[in-house]
Amino acid sequence: MNVPTMAEMMAQGKQPEVLFWVGCAGSFDDRAKKITKAFVKILNNANVSFAVLGTEESCSGDPAKRAGNEFLFQMQAMTNIEILNAYEVKKIVTACPHCFNTIKNEYPELGGKYQVMHHTQFLKSLLDEGKITVSGGSYKGKKITFHDPCYLGRANSVYEAPRELLKKLEVELVEMKRCKTNGLCCGAGGAQMFKDAEKGDKEINVERTEEALELKPKIIATGCPFCNTMMTDGVKAKNSEENTEVLDIAEMIANASDL
Amino acid sequence: MQYIPNIIFAILLAFAGIFFAKNVKKLIRNIKLGKDLNRSDRKSERWKNMTMLALGQSKMTKRPIAGLLHIVVYVGFIIINIEVLEIILDGLLGTHRIFSPLGKMYNFLIGTFEILAFMVLFSVIVFWIRRQILKIPRFWNKEMKSWAKNDALYILYFEMVLMSLFLLMNAADYNLQQLNAEHYTHAGSFPVSQYLAPMLSGLSQGSLILIERSAWWLHIIGIFIFLNYLYYSKHLHILLAFPNTYYANLEAKGKFTNDKNVTTEVKMMLDPNADPYAMPEEPAEGEVPEKFGASDIFDLNWTNILNAYTCTECGRCTSVCPANITGKELSPRAIMMKTRDRVEEVGKNIDTNGSFKDDQKQLLNDYITPEELWACTSCNACVEECPINISPLDIIMQMRQYLVMEQSAAPQELNMMMTNIENNGAPWQYNQMDRLNWKDE
C-alpha cells in the first residue's frame, strides 16, 4: 500500500492532486481503518496522485462544535487550516461525512477554502473519468440497502453519488421507507457517538437497524464510519450478523475488484 | 336611525383594526428582543423560497392527506377574503351585495366562494377527526396538552362556524331573493346553499331576514375576533409563514454558524506576535461582556424568535426526530413552543414594567432542560421536515454552547472527548503520532 504524506511529497518537490483527509475514526477506529485501507487501495489502483497529512492531521473539530465547544472547534479548525494552507492544498477528499461537512462548510470563513469531496463523490468522478471500473463481482444481484449519513445527505444534499456507485455494483438496491431527505439518523451525530444516550425507551441505532433489517438485505451499505459503527452494533443487537453485513461503499468497490 | 348599523359596524371594524395593529406592534417588538442578524442578502433566493414554501406550500404535500386538505383551507381562506371585502363595504355603506352589478362575474365569484367554503368545512372536519378520533400521534405528544391542544381545536371550531354561517347567510338570502324581498337583489349563484335553502323555505320573510342578518353579523364579527385571536394562537403562521420563509437560512443545513468573537480570540492565541501577558481589553462603561451561546431569549437571534411565533405546532418535526421517536425528552416542537412561551413572558414583563425587569428566570432550565438539549443528534431531520423552514436545531446548538462555554456543564463523557481533542487531536485517547499506523497494520 502506497500512502505518501504531504511532508514526503513536499520534500520531493511534488504536489499531489488531492489530499486524503483520513479523519480520527479512519485513523484509529479498527473498523473504520478497514474503510481507509479499502479507499487507499482503490486510489493506488487508479494511480491517483494523493497524499495524507499523517501525524500532522488533527481532529476537524466537528464533535467539539456539535457538543457546544466553539472555542475548541475553532482552535482545531485554524490549526488545521494553517497546515493545509502551508501545503497549498486545493482539493480534499474524505471518507467521513462529518469532516467533509465541517471542512467544506465551516472552514472557508476561517480561511480554509478548498474543494471538498466525500469519497463516494470522488469515486464517482473517477468512474466518470474512466480511471476506475466498477462491476458487481460477488455483489451482483445481492439485496442491499443504503443508509444515508445525515451529514452527507440532509446536511449537504448528496444522495445520488453513493447510489450510483451501488448501481454500478449491480446490486439490487432496496430503499428503506425513511431514506434520502427522510433518512433516519443512526444516532451518532451531534457528538452522541461519544456519550451514552439520554433516558428513553430505545436506542436510535436499534430503531434504524430494525428498519433496515425488515428489508432482509445481505448488506447495509453506508458512507460514514460512525454510521458504520452504529449499524454494526445494531445488527449485533438484533443477532443478525450471519445474514447481514454492514459495509462502506469503498469497501464494496475494493472487494468487487479483488483489491 | 337608519345609519345605526353602519356606525356600529364602523366602530367594530375600527376596534378590530386598532387592536390588531397593537398586537402586531408588540409582536415586532418581541421579535426584536433577539440579537441582530443580517438576513437582507440574496434577495432573489429569498423571494423564491417564500414563493415556493409559503405561497406555493411546496413542502406541505410531503404528507399528502394533510397537505392537500391544508391547501384547500389555505386557498379557501385567501379567496373567501374577497367576499370579506364586500361584507366590509356593505357594512360601512349600508348596501347589500355591493359587487352584484358585476353580473355574471359576481355569480361566478359567489358560486366559487360557496364551493370553497364547503370544501374548507369538509377539510376542517377531517382535520378534527384526525386529531380527535384517529388520534394521530403527533397531535398527542406530551407538549400538546391544555392550551396547545385547545388552541388547535378552537381554530377548527372557529372555521367550522364561520363557514357554516356564510352558507346559512346565503341560503337565507337565496330564499329572500325568491320571495322578491326588498333590498335582496337577485344576484349570486348558490351551488351549495341552494340545498340548504329548502330547510328555511317555510319561514316568513321576517324570520328569513333575521336569519340572514344574524348570520351576516356573526360571520363578520367572528372574522374580527379570529383576526385578533391570531396573536395568542399558533394560528399566527398564516401571516408569519411569509416573513419566516423569506428570512430563513439559505446555507447548507450542515453549516453551523462560526462565532466571530471566538474567531478573534483564537486568532490572537495562535498569533506568534501576540503579547502573552497583554491584559484583555476592559469592556467600555456599561457594556456587557459578550456571552457565549444562549441561556435566554435575548441571546438568541431574532429569526429564532420569529421561528417560535411562526410555529403552528403541527409536530412534523417531532414525528421525525430520532431522539423523540426513541422516547427521549427532546421534542423539537416543544423547543419552539417553550421559546415562544418565554418570549411572551418577557414581553408581558416589559408591558408591566416598561422595560425588562429581572424575573430570576430564563429559557434554560426554567423552560428547556439540558436533558432535552443533550439528546439532539443534530441530524437536521426537524429542519428538513418543517414546511416553512423553522430551525429548532439552531436554538438547541446555541443553548449547548452556553452550557459548555459558560457553565462547563457538558456530560462527563463529552468533557473527556473534548479533553482528548485538546491534548491529542482526536476524540479518543490515541497519540497523534500514531495517526498513520493503520498504513502498516
What confidence score (pLDDT) does residue B283 get?
59
Residue matched to cell numbers 367572528: B222
**Cα B248–B250–B253 angle (5° rounding)?**
100
Residue A1 inside a domain? The answer is: no
pLDDT exceeds cutoff 70 at A58: yes
Nearest to A67 among B262, B266, B400 (CB): B400
Question: Of B179 and B1, which is predicted with more confidence?
Answer: B179
pLDDT band of residue B83 (cuts 50, 70, 90) is confident
In chain B, pLDDT over 90 holds for what percent of residues? 77
SS3 A92: strand
pLDDT band of residue B285 (cuts 50, 70, 90) is low
- Burial (0-12, 13-18, 19+ Cβ within 10 Å), A164: middle
Q: Which residue of B has its CA nearest to A104?
A: B255
Q: How many domains does chain A have?
A: 2
Residue B92's CB is within 10 A of a number of other CB atoms, namely 15
Chain A residue numbers with beta carbons less than 8 Å from the beta carbon of B405 are: 68-71
Residue B423's CB is within 10 A of a number of other CB atoms, namely 11
Last residue of a domain, one of A85, A102, A127: A127
What mean pLDDT is reported for chain B?
A: 92
Across residues B151-179, what is the average pLDDT? Answer: 93
Chain B residue numbers with beta carbons less than 8 Å from the beta carbon of A203 are: 326
Question: Of A187 and B97, which is predicted with more confidence?
Answer: A187
Whether A13 and A84 share a structural domain: yes
Task: Pick the residue of B256, B267, B372, B382 with the most A CBs within 10 A to test the interface with A by mutation.
Answer: B256
The pLDDT tens digits of the residues spanning B380-423 come to 999 999 999 999 999 999 999 999 999 999 999 999 999 999 99
Q: Which residue of A has its CA nearest to B317?
A: A182
Whether A149 and A48 share a structural domain: no
Whether A205 and A169 share a structural domain: yes
> Is the CB of B413 less than 8 angstroms away from the CB of A192?
no
Please say whether the beta carbons of B32 and B38 come within 8 A. Answer: no
In chain B, pLDDT over 70 holds for what percent of residues? 97
pLDDT band of residue B185 (cuts 50, 70, 90) is confident
Whether A118 and A182 share a structural domain: no
Distance between CA atoms of residues B414 and A70, nearest Å: 14
Shortest distance, CA B309 to any CA of chain A (angstroms): 25
- Domain of A52? 6-127
Dig out the grid coordinates for A152 from the structure. 452527507
pLDDT exceeds cutoff 70 at A63: yes
The pLDDT tens digits of the residues spanning B52-63 come to 999 999 999 999
List the alpha helices (DSSP H) in chain A: 6-11, 23-28, 30-45, 62-66, 70-86, 97-101, 119-128, 160-168, 204-213, 225-237, 249-256
Whether A101 and A138 share a structural domain: no
Residue A233 inside a domain? The answer is: yes
Distance between CA atoms of residues A5 and A53, nearest Å: 5
SS3 B312: coil
Indicate the range of A83-87, A230-234, B82-86, B376-380 predicted with least confidence: B82-86
Whether A136 and A252 share a structural domain: yes
Which H/E stretch holds residue B320? helix B316-320
Indicate the range of A211-220, A227-236, B247-256, B275-284 predicted with least confidence: B275-284
Whether A137 and A61 share a structural domain: no
Please say whether the beta carbons of B329 and A199 come within 8 A. Answer: yes
Nearest to A59 among B330, B371, B427 (CB): B427
CATH code for the domain of A52: 3.40.50.1860
What confidence score (pLDDT) does residue B97 get?
87
What confidence score (pLDDT) does residue B2 get?
76
Across residues B324-348, what is the average pLDDT? Answer: 97
Residue matched to cell numbers 504524506: A5
Shortest distance, CA A114 to any CA of chain B (angstroms): 15
Distance between CA atoms of residues B57 and B383, nearest Å: 16
Last residue of a domain, one of A127, A146, A166: A127
pLDDT band of residue B96 (cuts 50, 70, 90) is confident
pLDDT exceeds cutoff 70 at B282: no
Q: How big is chain A, counted in residues? A: 259
Whether A104 and A201 share a structural domain: no
pLDDT exceeds cutoff 90 at B438: yes
Last residue of a domain, one of A110, A127, A144: A127
Residue A195 inside a domain? The answer is: yes
pLDDT exceeds cutoff 80 at A25: yes
Whether A186 and A83 share a structural domain: no
Nearest to A194 among B262, B413, B422 (CB): B413
Whether A246 and A138 share a structural domain: yes
pLDDT band of residue B287 (cuts 50, 70, 90) is low
> Is the CB of A67 less than 8 angstroms away from the CB of B439?
no
Residue A159 inside a domain? The answer is: yes
What confidence score (pLDDT) does residue A249 get?
97
CATH code for the domain of A217: 3.40.50
> Is the CB of B436 less than 8 angstroms away from the CB of A207?
no
Residue B1's CB is within 10 A of a number of other CB atoms, namely 4
Q: Does the CB of A36 have a partner CB in chain B at under 8 Å?
A: yes
> Is the CB of B266 less than 8 angstroms away from the CB of A59?
no
Chain A residue numbers with beta carbons less than 8 Å from the beta carbon of B417 are: 63-64, 67, 191, 194-195
Whether A177 and A118 share a structural domain: no
Whether A91 and A137 share a structural domain: no
